[in-house]
């Protein structure tokens, strides 16, 4: 449990805030172990594979490897499936690329692009270019299902780092949440905002299938709806569920939901934000109160509502 008032209170960042939040912070054994591995291999690696659930922070790990490597003063470039297809189609990419290239969600790359990544790995100049890629699971099932070419898997098999999911680093959630909240409010003309220790406990206890992406998105919505801080603990579950779709689905395809489920969850979120006031909720939704009543009867929402 988090009981340190200095952590529970966060303030706007300095006039020149960092471009991205630090996602590799916290006291957990999992993140300490990861940092030990990063510091051990960063000065020497030329090819690395990061294995972890979508949204768990593979890009942050890749950037940490780059920042501690001999290539730290050269560019760090992220090439997703689309960008990689364009970049690797150019003449002699192994000669033009420098620094560190990160290929996220390698199993989503088209076969032709996977072949191009394999050629890049084999023909690049090791003193000029380091290559990092991420996948959502172990190599063997990816190869056996045809999601990843065997040659490409072999090229990245020598050095593999596991990126822990948020479920594996529960102890980091209070520190992460406080840092993300400060990052999201950087430069904002507002006083310090305080969230209760109970709310941080609820964040820690919640499930985060979307990992860091879902946590960050949920905190953004909390800040939007509770700009003065101190959101009720009862708000967390609805807001978290509303952002469950933030979990990327790179390996398994897009998440498909029934329209009724999407509408019902949105109504629940609006009602919660409006403290159960149906008139305000109807105005926010842009519908009449009678229409909202009919929808509530249809969806049998279980939220406690005010008149």
Residues 62 and 106: beta-carbon distance below 8 Å = no
Strands 160-162 and 47-51: what pairing?
parallel
Cα distance between residue 157 and residue 168, in whole Å: 23
Q: What H or E segment, with its residue span, contains residue 18?
A: none
Q: Strands (DSSP E) along the chain, which ranges?
A: 9-10, 47-51, 76-78, 99-103, 129-135, 160-162, 193-194
pLDDT in tens, 237-288: 777 776 664 444 444 443 455 666 677 777 767 766 665 677 888 888 888 8
Contacts of 4 (CB under 8 A, 6+ apart): none
Please tell me the pTM assigned to this model.
0.74
- Rounded to whole angstroms, the Cα distance separating 80 from 78 reads 6
Q: Mean pLDDT per 10-residue run, the chain (307 residues)?
A: 43 53 95 97 96 96 96 95 90 86 96 94 91 94 88 94 96 93 78 78 91 91 78 76 53 51 73 71 82 74 42
Which has the closest alpha carbon to 307: 269, 268, 280?
Answer: 280
What's the distance, CA 62 to chain centroid? Answer: 14
Domain ranges of the chain: 29-162, 167-299
How far apart are the C-alpha atoms of 48 and 159, rounded to whole Å? 5
pLDDT for residue 112: 93
Look at the chain and count its residues.
307
pLDDT recorded at residue 5? 41
182: part of which helix (H) or strand (E)?
helix 173-184
CATH fold of the domain at 29-162: Rossmann fold (3.40.50)
User: Residue 272: its pLDDT value, please?
Assistant: 62
At 307 the pLDDT is 44
Do the bridges between strand 9-10 and strand 193-194 make them parallel or antiparallel, or are there none, so unpaired? antiparallel
Identify how many contiguous H helices and E strands the chain contains and give both numbers.
15, 7
pLDDT digits (tens, 9 = 90+) for 108-128: 999 999 999 999 999 998 889
User: What pLDDT does 64 receive?
Assistant: 97
Q: What share of the chain is helix, strand, coil (3-state, %, to 5)?
A: 50, 10, 40
């Amino acid at each position: 449990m988090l009981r340190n008032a200095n952590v529970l209170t966060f303030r706007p960042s300095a006039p020149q805030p960092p471009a991205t939040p630090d996602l590799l912070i916290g006291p957990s054994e999992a993140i300490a172990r990861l940092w030990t591995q990063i510091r051990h291999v960063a000065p020497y690696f030329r090819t690395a594979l990061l294995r972890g659930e979508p949204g768990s922070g593979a890009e942050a790990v890749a950037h940490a490897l780059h920042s501690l490597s001999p290539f730290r003063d050269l560019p760090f470039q992220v090439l997703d499936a689309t960008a990689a297809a364009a970049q690797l189609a150019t003449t002699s990419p192994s000669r033009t690329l420098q620094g560190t290239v990160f290929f996220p969600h390698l199993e989503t790359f088209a076969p032709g692009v996977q072949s191009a990544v394999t050629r890049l790995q084999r023909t690049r100049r090791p003193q000029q270019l380091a290559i990092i890629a991420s996948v959502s699971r172990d190599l063997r099932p990816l190869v056996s299902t045809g999601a990843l070419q065997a040659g490409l898997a072999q090229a990245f098999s020598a050095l593999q780092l596991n990126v822990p999911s948020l479920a594996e680093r529960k102890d980091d959630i209070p520190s992460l949440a406080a840092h993300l909240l400060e990052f999201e409010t950087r430069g904002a003309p507002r006083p310090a905002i305080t969230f209760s220790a109970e709310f941080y406990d609820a964040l820690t206890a919640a499930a985060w299938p979307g990992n860091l992406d879902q946590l960050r998105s949920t905190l953004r919505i909390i800040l939007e709806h509770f700009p003065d801080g101190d959101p009720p603990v009862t708000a967390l579950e609805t807001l978290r569920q509303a952002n469950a779709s933030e979990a990327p689905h790179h390996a398994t395809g897009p998440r498909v939901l029934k329209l009724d489920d999407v509408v019902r969850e949105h109504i629940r979120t609006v009602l919660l934000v409006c403290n159960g006031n149906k008139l305000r909720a109807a105005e926010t939704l842009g519908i009449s109160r009678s229409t909202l009543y009919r929808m509530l009867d249809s969806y049998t929402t279980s939220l406690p509502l005010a008149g």
